[in-house]
Amino acid sequence: MKKKNLSVKKKIHNFYLKKLDDPKIRKIYINFKKKLSDHISNKFCVAVSGGADSMALSFLAKCYSLEKNVKVHFFIVNHNLRKNSTYEAKIVKKKLNEFQINSEILTLKKRIKSSNLQSFARENRYKLISKNSLNKKIDAVLTAHHRDDLLENFFIRLLRGSGLKGLISLKKVKSKVNFDDKIFILRPLINISKQDLIYISKNTFNFYVQDPSNFDDKFLRVKVRDLIKKLEKDGLTFEKFKLSLNNLAKSNNAIDFYVKKNIEDNSNFVVLSKKVVLQEKFFIQPDEIVFRSFSEIIHEVGKRKTYARGVKVENLINYFRLNRNPKKKTLSRCIIQKVNNSVIISRENK
C-alpha cells in the first residue's frame, strides 16, 4: 500500500477513535457493540436513509468494522417518492465517502400502488435491501430503529386495533420482516433515544437529511408523535412505557407457551397427505389460544409470506365452531373442512 493511502487510512482511524473519546458517544457505542457481538458473527449491511438516526448508525457501524475488521456494506435507499430524493441520496453517498464509508444507492422503481405512502415505502425498502443482501451473501441488516420509534409504533398499532403480539413486535432486537425471510433485521439502537442519535450525528459527521414528511400531519405517525409529546407533559416517560411493555411481553410469552402446547397436544400432522388434523379439544381453549394456534397452522400449511388477516381467521373459527355441517372453506392457500368432530387443514394444489 502506498504511503499516501496509509496516511489517509491512519487519519480516518484517528478520526473515529477521537470521536469515541466523547463519554456519551462511547457509552452508546459500547451498548451497540454488545448487541452486535450477541447477534452477528459475520459480515452485515446497514440501511441508510440519510436521517440523523441512520447517520449515527453508520458512524457506529464503521467504528465496529474498524475495531473488529469486519466487512460492512452500506445501502442508501432512494424511495424515489420526492423530486429531490435522487439528489439527496447522492449527497448522502458523497458525505459518507468523505469519511471512508463506501456505499451503494438502491433505487425503488415501482410506482405507488397504495394510499399508505409510508407503508408502501417500508415494504419495498425491505424487499430491495433483502435482494441485494442475499446477492452479497449477507443475512443481517442493521436498521436505525430507536426507542422513539418503539413508542410511536405502539400507539400506531394500538389505534389500528392490533393484538398483544402486534403491540410488542418491534421490541425485539433481532427478528424477520416475514416468516420465510432469509434475512434478519437487527435493531441495535432500539433502546437509544432520537435525541442521543442526533447528538452523535452532529458531533461526528455533522450532517443529516431532514425528511419533510416528518412534519406533515397528514401522516398518522406525525399525529402520534404530537400526541406523545402531549402525554409526556402529563408524566409519560420511556421508563414507565418500557415497564408496561415488558409486562405485556411476559403475558405474550405465557400465551405463546399455551399456543405451542395446544398445537402439540391437540393436532396431528399426517405425513403422507401433508394434512393437519385438529382434534375437538383444539377448539376448547381460551379464545386467544385458539386464534393464535389456528393462525399458526394456517400460516405453516399455506406457506404464505404474511399471516392471514386476523378478522378472517376469527370468522373462520367461529364458522366451524357454530355450524354443525359447515361447508369446505379456503384461506391463505389452505383448504379447511370439518370431518366428524375434527377439522382438517390441507394446502391447495396450485
- The pLDDT score that the predictor gives to residue 164 is 87
d(CA 93, CA 113): 28
Q: What is the mean pLDDT of residues 261-287?
A: 92
- The pLDDT score that the predictor gives to residue 122 is 72
How far is CA 120 from each of CA 2, 100, 102, 217, rounded to the nearest angstrom? 47, 32, 27, 18
pLDDT by residue (tens digit) across 24-74?
999 999 999 999 988 876 789 999 989 999 999 999 999 999 999 888 999
- The pLDDT score that the predictor gives to residue 84 is 81
Q: CB under 8 Å to 327, separation ≥6 — which residues?
A: none
d(CA 281, CA 302): 23
Q: What is the DSSP string of 243-256?
A: HHHHHHHHHHHHHH
How far is CA 118 from each of CA 85, 179, 328, rounded to the nearest angstrom? 15, 21, 38
Q: Map out the domains of the chain as residue ranges.
A: 3-236, 265-347
Strand partners, 337: 344
pLDDT by residue (tens digit) across 98-125?
999 999 999 877 655 555 556 667 777 8
- The pLDDT score that the predictor gives to residue 168 is 85
Please give the mean pLDDT across all residues of the chain: 87
Cell of 225: 408523535
- The pLDDT score that the predictor gives to residue 7 is 63
pLDDT by residue (tens digit) across 307-341?
888 899 999 999 998 888 899 999 999 999 999 88
Strand blocks (E) in the chain? 44-48, 72-78, 103-107, 140-142, 174-175, 184-186, 267-270, 275-278, 329-331, 334-339, 342-347
d(CA 79, CA 47): 12
Among 239, 192, 208, 238, smallest CA distance to 25 is for 192
Q: What letter does residue 213 receive in the DSSP assignment?
A: G
* Torsions phi, psi for 188 (to 5 deg): -75, -10
Q: What is the mean pLDDT of residues 224-231?
A: 89
Q: What letter does residue 285 receive in the DSSP assignment?
A: S
| Termini Cα distance of the chain | 58
d(CA 75, CA 45): 7
d(CA 277, CA 270): 7
> Would you say 86 and 232 are in contact if contact means Cβ atoms under 8 Å apart?
no
pLDDT of 23 > 90? The answer is: yes
- The pLDDT score that the predictor gives to residue 165 is 85
Determine what percent of the chain falls in helix, strand and coil, rounding each to the nearest 5: 55, 15, 30
- Topology (CATH) of 3-236: Rossmann fold (3.40.50)
Among 218, 254, 225, smallest CA distance to 150 is for 225
Compute the half-sphere exposure of residue 187: CA atoms within 13 Å on the CB side of its CA.
19
Q: Pairing relation of β-strands 140-142 and 44-48?
A: parallel
d(CA 211, CA 320): 49
d(CA 165, CA 262): 18
Angle between helices 23-39 and 194-203 (to 10 degrees): 110
